């Protein structure tokens, strides 16, 4: 990553740090939106693949079943797990919407593993930096800590993070005070 910048006068919050950390750690994520209106995270992935209706349904069922099984093992009950597919030219945008309260980093790792196993070379992602095992573990610990903080202190700002040419940009969609 080339750098993280914020607009003059805007405080860089822990929820912004979480978005940046997730986008850096997981290059498969194209955008990440934090929506305080329904306390959700919306992950967007871009694939060079045209999904048939049957393929969408099969993938939706596989991913939901996998995430629900993980939630069962973690003894939590997700409020919602929503998947949508949006076609734009030669690309498909896969959006996964999850409630913050029951979301876990393990769930994201599983989701990305399933996407990569099924569509690996079709996933649009930036080049991964050379991170060592210790760096990855540290990033994952920080992500878990920031996610727990987000669960405890609800976010008021609607934020969207995107990757662009080695940078992460954060957009605040909330009305100014």
Give dist(CA 34, CA 40) in Å, integer: 6
If you count them, how many residues does the chain have?
A: 177
Q: Does the predicted model carry a pTM greater than 0.85?
A: yes
Q: Tell me what pLDDT residue 47 has.
A: 97
Helices (H), 38-131: 53-73, 105-119
**Average pLDDT over every residue of 34-59:** 95
Cβ–Cβ under 8 Å, residues 150 and 139: no
Q: Tell me what pLDDT residue 140 has.
A: 87
Q: Tell me what pLDDT residue 54 has.
A: 97
Phi-psi region of 39 (alpha: psi -120 to 50; beta: other; left: phi over 0): left
Measured from the Cβ of residue 130, the count of other Cβ atoms closer than 10 Å reads 6
pLDDT above 80: residue 4: no
Cβ–Cβ under 8 Å, residues 42 and 160: no
8 or 63, greater pLDDT: 63
Lowest model confidence (mean pLDDT) among 10-24, 34-48, 124-138, 156-170: 124-138
Partners of residue 29 on adjacent β-strands: 45
- Residue holding tokens 């969207």? 160
Q: How confident is the model at residue 175 (pLDDT cuts 50, 70, 90)?
A: low
Backbone φ and ψ of 7, nearest 5°: -70, 145
Helix (H/G/I), strand (E/B), else coil: 56: helix
Distances (CA, A) of 92 to 10, 13, 42, 122: 33, 31, 16, 10
Cβ–Cβ under 8 Å, residues 166 and 126: yes
**Average pLDDT over every residue of 48-69:** 96
Question: Strand 29-35 vs strand 159-164: parallel, antiparallel, or unpaired?
Answer: antiparallel
pLDDT above 90: residue 177: no
């Amino acid at each position: 990553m080339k750098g993280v910048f914020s607009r003059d006068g805007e405080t860089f919050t822990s929820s912004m740090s979480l978005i940046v950390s997730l986008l850096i750690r997981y290059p498969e994520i194209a955008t990440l939106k934090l929506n305080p209106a329904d306390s959700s995270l919306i992950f967007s992935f871009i694939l060079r693949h045209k999904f048939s209706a049957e393929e969408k349904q099969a993938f939706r069922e596989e991913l939901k079943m996998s995430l629900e099984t993980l939630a069962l093992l973690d003894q939590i009950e997700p409020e919602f797990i929503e998947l949508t597919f949006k076609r734009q030219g030669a690309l498909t945008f896969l959006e996964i919407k999850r409630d913050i309260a029951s979301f876990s980093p393990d769930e994201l790792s599983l989701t990305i593993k399933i996407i990569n196993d099924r569509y690996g070379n079709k996933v649009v992602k930036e080049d991964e930096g050379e991170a060592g095992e210790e760096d990855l573990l540290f990033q994952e610990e920080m992500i878990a800590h920031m996610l727990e903080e987000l669960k405890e202190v609800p976010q008021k700002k609607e934020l969207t993070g995107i990757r662009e040419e080695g940078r992460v940009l954060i957009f605040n969609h909330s009305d100014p005070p």
